[in-house]
Amino acid sequence: MWEVLVIGCNGITRKWLDALKGREDVVLAAFADPAVERAEALRDAYAPGAQVYDGADAALEHCKANLVLDATPPYVHHAVVTRALREGRCVLGEKPMAGDLSQAREMVACAQESSRPYFVMQNRRYLRGIQTLRAELAKTYLGKPYLVTCDMFLGAHFMGPGDGRPDFRNRMEHPVLVDMLIHTFDQARFLLGEKRAISAYCQELNPPNSWYDHSAIALCTFVFEDDSVLSLRGSWATKCENTTSHGFWRVYCTDGTACWDGAERVWVSRAQPVPSAGYFEEEGVREEIPLAYSGREDHAGCVDDMLSALNRGQTMMTDCRNNIHSLEMVHACIQSAETGKKCSISPADETA
C-alpha cells in the first residue's frame, strides 16, 4: 500500500490527485503547504481523514508515509526530494527536477545512493498523438530518423496568482526555455528513443509585442549522440498562427517522414522509387495513421505508469536518471543563448 504525503497544494496538485482517485493501492495520508488553507482545501476534497502540515519540514518530520508527491515550486524540489529519498521514501515529483543543474545532479545521486525511485512528471509523453507517432517510428519502415523539427508557437498570457501580482513567468529570465521547453525537449528525446543530446545552439529573442520582460522565443538546434538533429522553435509571445502547446512535429527519416500536428492527426509519407533520369522531387505517398494508444492521457497516464513501476519494483521512462538528460538540454540552451556559442553537453559522470 502506498501512503502518500502530498507536498505543495496549489495549481497542479489537483491533476495528480484526480489521477490517483479510486486507486486501491494508494491512501492519501497528509497534505503540506505553508498556505495551510490550500492543504486543508485539498484534504477536504480528496481525503477528509488526512493530516495537514504547514510545510514540507513539519510533514517530513511527523508523517511516515512511504511515498512523497512533490508539487512545490522548482526551487523547493531539491530540499524535499533529497530529504525524502535519504529517509528511504519513494518520490514522485513535478518537472523541472530543479532550477539548477548541479542540484538536479545531486538529486539523481541521492536516488542512486538510497536505492529509492524518484520519478519525474513528463505528462506530454502521455498523449495519443505522440504515442502513435513514436510507435510508428519504432516500426522502422521509414528508416533512420535524422532530422526532427518542431514548432511550438503560443500567445501565452499567464495572469498571475489573482492578487494583483504579476505571474512569475512574465518577469523571469529565459521563461520559455525554463518553464516550457523542458516538455518539448523531453518529447523529442522520447521520439528519438531516449537519445541524449551532445550539443546545443540557441538564439533567444523577445518580439516587440512581447508582454514578457525577457526573451519569450527560443530557436534551438541540438545534435544527438546518433548524429540526428533537432531543430526547434518555441514561442510564448506569438500573435496568431499558433500551434497547440504540444508542438507541431515532423520527423524526417531515410525512407520517409512522419508528422504529428500536436493535436489528433498523425500521418506518414513513404518515399517512392526515383526515376533513373532527369530531375525529380520526392513527394512520397501519404497515409493517415489512426491514433493508437489505450492508456490514460496527460498527468493520469504518467501517474499510472509511475504507480505500475513502483508496484513492480521497476523503473519507468521518466525516472530522474533519464529525465536529467532533458534538463541538460535546457541548461545548455541557456548557456548558448547567453554566450552566443554552440555548447557541448556532457553528462555529469563524464565531466566529473
Ligand X SMILES: NC(=O)c1ccc[n+]([C@@H]2O[C@H](COP(=O)([O-])OP(=O)(O)OC[C@H]3O[C@@H](n4cnc5c(N)ncnc54)[C@H](O)[C@@H]3O)[C@@H](O)[C@H]2O)c1
Residue 160 interacts with ligand X (CB under 6 A): yes or no: no
Q: x/- binding map, residues 97-126, to ligand X, per CB under 6 A?
A: ------------------------x-x---
Taking the complex as a whole, the smallest distance from the CB of residue 131 to ligand X amounts, in Å, to 17
Taking the complex as a whole, the smallest distance from the CB of residue 259 to ligand X amounts, in Å, to 23
CB 170 within 8 A of CB 158: yes
Residue 11 interacts with ligand X (CB under 6 A): yes or no: yes
Residue 175 interacts with ligand X (CB under 6 A): yes or no: no
- Supply the Cα-derived Rg of the chain in whole angstroms: 21
Residue 178 interacts with ligand X (CB under 6 A): yes or no: no
Q: Which of 18, 21, 61, 73 binds ligand X (CB under 6 A)?
A: 73
Q: Which of 32, 42, 220, 306 binds ligand X (CB under 6 A)?
A: 32
d(CA 134, CA 249): 11
d(CA 12, CA 3): 20
Stretch that binds ligand X, among 68-76, 230-238, 281-289, 307-315 (CB under 6 A): 68-76
Q: Which residue has the cell 545548455?
A: 332
d(CA 216, CA 338): 14
d(CA 199, CA 236): 24
Stretch that binds ligand X, among 31-39, 275-283, 286-294, 344-352 (CB under 6 A): 31-39
Which lies closer to ligand X via its Cβ, residue 11 or residue 88?
Answer: 11
d(CA 54, CA 231): 44
**234 has which bridge partners?**
152, 218
Taking the complex as a whole, the smallest distance from the CB of residue 118 to ligand X amounts, in Å, to 14
Kind of pairing between the strands at 90-93 and 285-289: unpaired
Helices within the chain (DSSP H only): 13-20, 36-46, 56-62, 74-86, 101-114, 128-138, 168-171, 175-179, 181-191, 298-312, 320-339, 348-351
Which lies closer to ligand X via its Cβ, residue 29 or residue 251?
Answer: 29
Stretch that binds ligand X, among 16-24, 72-80, 126-134, 257-265 (CB under 6 A): 72-80
Stretch that binds ligand X, among 32-40, 228-236, 305-313, 332-340 (CB under 6 A): 32-40
Residue 74 interacts with ligand X (CB under 6 A): yes or no: yes
The grid coordinates listed for 205 are 529573442
